[in-house]
Amino acid sequence: MNLYVIRHCQTNSNKNKIFNGRNDKDINEYEVNQANAIREQIIKSNKI
């Protein structure tokens, strides 16, 4: 079993240097694309 820990996603708030502490905010489009790219890399590396 492999465990992957992916840390931090950009929100529009932190992009604009507005820090929200522990509030949940939606990630922006840039990070959605980054998450999809990471997913594809994991799939390729594990031959899923």
- Domain annotation covers residue 7: no
Residue of 37, 15, 19 lying closest to 27 (CA atoms) = 15
Number of domains comprising the chain: 1
**What confidence tier does 40 reach under pLDDT thresholds 50, 70, 90?**
very high
Do the domain assignments include residue 27? yes
24 within a domain of the structure (yes/no) = yes
Residue 4 within any structural domain of the chain:
no
- Whether residue 6 is contained in a domain is answered as no
Query: Is position 36 within any domain?
Result: yes
- pLDDT for 20 equals 72
Statement: residue 48 has pLDDT above 60: no
Cβ 48 vs Cβ 27: under 8 Å: no
- 40 is written with which tokens? 């594809």
- Global pTM reads 0.61
How far is the C-alpha of 18 from the C-alpha of 1, rounded, in Å?
A: 38
**Residue 30 in domain:** yes
The string of pLDDT tens digits covering residues 7-39 is 767 778 877 887 777 767 777 888 888 889 988
> Looking at residue 47, what is its pLDDT?
67
| Cα–Cα distance for residue pair 45/34, rounded to 1 Å | 17
Domain that holds residue 18: 12-46
